[in-house]
Structure 1
Amino acid sequence: MKPETACVNGSNPAAGGSDDPLALSPADRAWVDARLGELSTEDKVGQLFVLSSINDDIDEIERHCALGVGGIHRFPGHDLEKAWAATHAAFERSAVPPLISGDIEGGSLSHFYACPVPNQLGLAAADDLELSRRIARIIAIESRAMGFNWTFSPVVDVNVNFRNPVVGTRSYGSNVDAIIAQAKVLVEELQAQGIAATAKHWPGDGIDDRDQHLVPTVNTLAMDEWDASYGRIYRAMIDAGVMAVMSAHIALPEYIRARDGNPGRDAFKPASLSKTLNLDFLRGELGFRGLIVSDATAMGGLNAWCERAEVVPAVIENGCDVFLFSRDAAADKQLMLDGLRHGLLSEERLEAAVDKVLSLKARLGLHRREPAELLPPLDAARAVLRKPGNMAVVDQASARAITLVKDTQALLPIDPARHKRVTIVVEEGWNFVSGAMPRSSSAFIEALRERGFEVRTFDSEAPPTRDDTDLLIYLIGQEATPAIAQIHIDWIKLHGGARKAMLRFNTEIPTLMVSLGQPYYLYDAPEIATYVNGYSGLDSVQKGVVERLVGEAAFTGVSPVDAFCGLEQARY
């Protein structure tokens, strides 16, 4: 018996005609069936796991492969040769060809040795689908050259709650039509290059202002509102043939209540543990036939719900096909086996989940590729990465995204004749993700100096005055990242102390603010009369911002969100 197996012709009459993104040829279906017949129960359990590999640690990869895992999620470091060797080790040491996944989202998550592409919000601000397609093609080709065959993107969350700290720059904004259009482009280009795309985070982030990495969060929309937004998006992704959906630690209580009345606490069960949301809703009502992967299982939003011994088998029993990450992989594999023995995980769900994992591998043709096709030789990879023509396209997209939100004081363009002495207050931000791009404001500062400005950084012991400063620039660089808890300007940190946090200079010194990350800082600085959003801290963005501040190029970005955060006060 092979529950939920893929139809060879891809049809699915029971789900309104939706195609099966994992539909297989007879030969590929035979490979899946043969593997299912050969794998022991322990081997099948191993295939459920995709474990993280951080900073190109080959010993860690060897430990993962010894557990017979279905895949390795790569957080590569900044050395291409070491990254290549680590991925090569994953292919070499896996009995069944592994899924090699990544969070390929752009911005500060761009891989160090690949083209530094705009993040999703930046692409939405560039507002050019053909340009987005060219960027997506670059992402796909470079990722394939580095051995990736699966990405946990696009993020299809709706960025409507400006206080949500983890959606922000990772999203395509708040317009549902724009989200669908941009995400479809990425899905099409990735999957055309043999990289499975993943729509996340089911059933939809961006409503709650908390982070599921820290706490179980809630999509509180009524179902008619959900259907008009997230429902439209997920139906569009399914119609576009997306191969995977990530089930998050996010509840959808109104759907549960509509079915089950008032189940109390269970209305807030995370989707990653909810049979109703995964199997009944996503698979049943929406007709999704691809693979469902849980969000990271080390996150607080999952582990705050129940004890680990219950969590581990429940993720698979309740509809996820892949168990993502672990704090202790060997222990979690044992908990999965124990759950199978004690009835917390059924044989039927185990078979169905492993079938999906193997079907994704077969659909990507991993079993039919030679090793050099799964991971090209290092020299071949080098020849693909950071091609000058591709870098030019990336720079064009980064610059096109830069958005002038307001200039009510008519400050721009700035020039050395009027604004010679510049003081910069810098918050470069950080990123939770291992291997993220280094963060620095040096490109911005150097671009100003090249144009004749005298630039000094803010000194909390000698704050700027009109006698020594002609222009004050706040440069904030925080992109959306897990575990940051909230979006805000940390005035204490910026100004160097709690009492100094109350200082304001804009009434005496011409002042502007540039965000190289989250677009929402006017909420904490509504009095700033000139404000620019660049969406990421990439060097190309920093240089592009300076070009526009001095009038060498026009601002062309279109804000994908309400940068005024609903405040009339912030518009002046």
Structure 2
Amino acid sequence: MTTDEPVSSNAVPASRRIVVMGVSGCGKTTIGDLVARQLGVPFLDGDSLHPVENVAKMAAGTPLTDEDRWPWLATVGAELAAAGNRGLVLACSALRRSYRDAIRAQAPDTVFLHLHGSKDVLAARIEGRSGHFMPPALLESQLATLEPLQADEAGVVVDVAEPVDAVVTAALAGISAALAGGVAPPAPLAPPAPLAPPTGTVGTPLRQFDVDLKAAPFNLDDDAIVWIDSTIDAMTLEEKIGQLFINHNNDYSPEYLDGVLENYHVGGMRYRPGPSAAVQEHIRYAQSKTRVPLLIASNPEMGGAGSCDDGTFVCTHLQAGSHPDKSIARQMGQVAGVETAALGCNWAFAPIVDIHYNWRNTVISTRSFGNTPEIVVERAKEYFDGISESPTVCAIKHFPGDGIDERDQHVVTSYNTLGYEEWNRTYGHVYREMIGHGVQSIMIGHIGAPELSRHFRPGTADKEILPATLAPELLQDLLRGELGFNGLILTDASQMIGLTQAMKRKDLVPATIAAGCDMFLFFRNPAEDFQYMMEGYKTGVISEQRLQDALRRILALKASLGLHATAREELVPPVEALGVIGSEAHRAVAAEIADKTVTLVKDTANSLPITPETHKRIRLYGISAGPDFTRADPLAYLDTVKDELEKAGFEVHLFRTAEQREAAGEAGVNFMSIISEEATGDYAEKYDAAFVFANVKGFAQEAAIRIKWSSPMAAEIPWYVTEVPTVFVSLNQPNHLIDVPMVRTVIHAHAGSREAIRATIEKIQGKSGFQGTFNDNVFCDSFDTRL
């Protein structure tokens, strides 16, 4: 017999109750889970049944008294008794005879599997373990308490010094023998079966919460549940593991999709944006080739833009929060839903529910509705309601909440450092409201939360703080337990350094699922990551219970969309549906929102209005952060700005840097020569006003974003504010005043779209009024930015 094959029910009746006992560090959870898997019965960690008072005492290094233990032992016995004929393997220290008697009082036929080890072996294992509330100091106390199994107790003793596979084999043989009654002597260890020891475990969750398919957000009927369970039963192990993955499709060819679907059996995909017709055909082919319908995700954070190249840019999240009209967010969601559904998408990685508390945080500065939980909740609900008018489910992000740290989790682990009570008043409030509003899935950020982790795991050291994607206390105890989330949990992109700096790839891939995530976003190397996940299951990092629960949630999300009851050829709309993408009606929505949300942050010199009649000659400057991963020209927006200014009647003189002039063939230019040319005393004789349009980005490429001028003491830095009226317009980031406090007229246009640029130029001329609002983050906590 090997541990790769389930033990037949004739060898060990599934109706039996088995307690895996022993002191801390003996491997009760690992061995117990593997034994349960072989017997085909559920596994439960008895530690999850401790009341919080016991957990706090143990974490503080205080041994439990018998008065502490009796209620817990009664609960353990009740769980075993309630298992009935389905059977149960339960990990519980059960160190004294009296404790075991208390368990047997409710479940008389319980068999005890004692995992025995020397003090040295046990101490070494405890020292190497993280994320558990049992500190090494309590080992002495447990060893002193331990009373070995006696002759009249049904049980078996197994030495844990041997390899895991050998321990499991011996345990199964001993359990079978113990069923005849009495204590089986320490069992001779069988030759090791081909099963590797567990790796990459990240602590044990206090409790695992299995999905309720009939409850929100799934609300499934009996037929859907039958489809879920029968589909899982019919899957091979490879297909089950594949369902855990969401692929990032980097190729539109049929050969590429065939390879992904046939080799990795993925549960979902997010494609690389391109022309809408190509994207739709890509999705249609994928859905036609897979046995189980796919979740097709997109990032419609700004409307249809980002889901395909010709989608409508409606507005940013910040833009939707920068006007009293909350329906702007609903309109953004409506357009996003219509356009992405036309492509064949059914899963939106939106809305974003982070709170922009720290003005230095640039990764969500435009991707947050605002800097208070109230505005975030209000606008996120509106977006959700708007996109839900289309056949779409949402994944809100990024739990436990971005916006405290100034760094970007794409390039470094970031942290939400709020205390438990303050987090509950802010981010916790947002998540409770959105869960109550029916959100179906939650994306987990690679964001650590030290104080939250310590609330659930007192005594956790700094070095043991993990990003939420790997932290069962945040996923299970907090999100599933206290917040009551019954939906699907997925990781954020797995290539992000916020995750990958935590541990080796082979360990972190299965550890995310073990910790409580249901789906894993993006392969790094498909063959490697798939194998890492498979090995994580085979070695017990991912328990059978955890895998089954994840699969049921994944298929439940699909069933909630009706994918199980939709004909394969109808999963993707016909080509004619693409007519809504970038339509005149949607562009009109974008233009109306742009007009409402262009914001005058300050005009302390009373420079506005500026018109062609009063200030004909405009010196135009453009600021960008340089090329990014899109490889697009970072200053291309200046063509639109120049065009709109000239249409308005201005005479535009475009500033070019030394680098631009050299690229155009000029010789003998450098940054000093440009400064000398630009900063001459006749500046005000040549130009009537200066306009600076900034479109600074850097998403996922740097930990912080500030203006980077073209050269040292660059000629485009606003020295000219003392010479002519100067207007600074941001087309993206709201925090530029920290770098240009000398400018007295500052406008936030929110976007580099033609609609936003046109609306801004109209308002500069006084043709329409500024209606947008802003929060104090724009002043960057510095007095001079308000001058």
TM bucket normalised to smaller:
over 0.9
Is residue 428–residue 441 contact of structure 1 (8 Å, CA) maintained in 2?
Answer: no
Is residue 175–residue 560 contact of structure 1 (8 Å, CA) maintained in 2?
Answer: no
Partner secondary structure for residue 505 of structure 1: helix
Is residue 75–residue 435 contact of structure 1 (8 Å, CA) maintained in 2?
Answer: no
Q: Report the equivalent of 1:483.
A: 701
Partner secondary structure for residue 475 of structure 1: strand
Q: Report the equivalent of 1:14.
A: none
Shift of 1:117: 1.0
Output one character per residue of 1:219-242: Cα deviation in whole Å (capped at 9) or x when no partner.
011122211110100001100110
In the alignment, structure 1 residue 403 sits paired with structure 2 residue 599: yes
**Larger deviation, residues 414-423 vs 431-440:** 431-440
Of residues 600, 605, 622, the one that matches 1:426 is: 622
Partner secondary structure for residue 506 of structure 1: helix
Shift of 1:542: 0.8
Q: What does residue range 434-445 of structure 1 map to in structure 2 within 5 Å? A: 440-445=637-642
Q: Report the equivalent of 2:608.
A: 412
Letter aligned with residue 700 of structure 2: P
Q: What does residue range 137-536 of structure 1 map to in structure 2 within 5 Å? A: 137-382=334-579, 384-429=580-625, 440-460=637-657, 461=674, 462-463=677-678, 465-479=683-697, 481-491=699-709, 493=710, 496-498=711-713, 500=715, 504-536=719-751
Partner secondary structure for residue 388 of structure 2: helix
RMSD over aligned CA atoms reads 2.2
- The number of residues matched between the two structures is 558
Partner secondary structure for residue 406 of structure 2: coil
Q: Report the equivalent of 2:784.
A: 569
Counterpart Cα distance in 2 of 1:157 and 1:490:
26
Larger Rg: 2
Shift of 1:502: 6.7
Letter aligned with residue 415 of structure 1: T
Counterpart Cα distance in 2 of 1:564 and 1:110:
33
Counterpart Cα distance in 2 of 1:105 and 1:480:
17
Counterpart Cα distance in 1 of 2:750 and 2:604:
21
Shift of 1:58: 4.4
Counterpart Cα distance in 2 of 1:261 and 1:115:
48
Counterpart Cα distance in 1 of 2:606 and 2:569:
57
**In the superposition, relative to structure 1, how do residues 59 and 506 fare at CA in structure 2: closer, same or farther (>3 Å)?**
farther
Counterpart Cα distance in 1 of 2:464 and 2:226:
41
Counterpart Cα distance in 2 of 1:473 and 1:280:
53
Counterpart Cα distance in 1 of 2:632 and 2:716:
30
Letter aligned with residue 475 of structure 1: F
**Larger deviation, residues 471-480 vs 543-552:** 471-480
Is residue 101–residue 150 contact of structure 1 (8 Å, CA) maintained in 2?
Answer: yes
Where relative contact order (Cα < 8 A, 6+ residues apart) is larger, the structure is 1
Is residue 8–residue 26 contact of structure 1 (8 Å, CA) maintained in 2?
Answer: no
Q: What does residue range 117-136 of structure 1 map to in structure 2 within 5 Å? A: 117-136=314-333
Shift of 1:318: 0.3
Counterpart Cα distance in 2 of 1:47 and 1:420:
62
Partner secondary structure for residue 418 of structure 1: coil
Counterpart Cα distance in 1 of 2:536 and 2:325:
49
**In the superposition, relative to structure 1, how do residues 56 and 430 fare at CA in structure 2: closer, same or farther (>3 Å)?**
farther
**In the superposition, relative to structure 1, how do residues 264 and 5 fare at CA in structure 2: closer, same or farther (>3 Å)?**
closer
Q: What does residue range 17-96 of structure 1 map to in structure 2 within 5 Å? A: 20-54=216-250, 56-66=252-262, 67-77=264-274, 79-96=275-292
Shift of 1:432: 5.7
Letter aligned with residue 279 of structure 1: Q
Shift of 1:217: 0.8
Is residue 173–residue 561 contact of structure 1 (8 Å, CA) maintained in 2?
Answer: no
Shift of 1:381: 2.1
Counterpart Cα distance in 2 of 1:372 and 1:169:
38
Q: Report the equivalent of 2:75.
A: none
Counterpart Cα distance in 2 of 1:527 and 1:401:
24
**In the superposition, relative to structure 1, how do residues 227 and 436 fare at CA in structure 2: closer, same or farther (>3 Å)?**
farther
Letter aligned with residue 405 of structure 1: V
Output one character per residue of 1:144-165: Cα deviation in whole Å (capped at 9) or x when no partner.
1111100111110001111112
Shift of 1:522: 0.3
**In the superposition, relative to structure 1, how do residues 390 and 89 fare at CA in structure 2: closer, same or farther (>3 Å)?**
same
Is residue 411–residue 702 contact of structure 2 (8 Å, CA) maintained in 1?
Answer: no
Shift of 1:353: 0.8
Partner secondary structure for residue 684 of structure 2: coil
Give unmatched runs, 5+ long, in structure 1.
11-19
Letter aligned with residue 306 of structure 1: M
Shift of 1:109: 3.2
Shift of 1:121: 0.7
Counterpart Cα distance in 2 of 1:354 and 1:235:
24
Shift of 1:569: 1.3
Of residues 288, 297, 300, the one that matches 1:101 is: 297
**In the superposition, relative to structure 1, how do residues 523 and 456 fare at CA in structure 2: closer, same or farther (>3 Å)?**
same
Is residue 429–residue 479 contact of structure 1 (8 Å, CA) maintained in 2?
Answer: yes
Q: Percent of aligned pairs with the same residue?
A: 33
Partner secondary structure for residue 21 of structure 1: coil
**In the superposition, relative to structure 1, how do residues 235 and 328 fare at CA in structure 2: closer, same or farther (>3 Å)?**
same
**In the superposition, relative to structure 1, how do residues 135 and 437 fare at CA in structure 2: closer, same or farther (>3 Å)?**
farther
Is residue 292–residue 321 contact of structure 1 (8 Å, CA) maintained in 2?
Answer: yes
TM-score, with length taken from structure 2: 0.68
Q: Report the equivalent of 2:29.
A: none
Is residue 111–residue 437 contact of structure 1 (8 Å, CA) maintained in 2?
Answer: no
TM-score, with length taken from structure 1: 0.93
Counterpart Cα distance in 2 of 1:248 and 1:129:
27
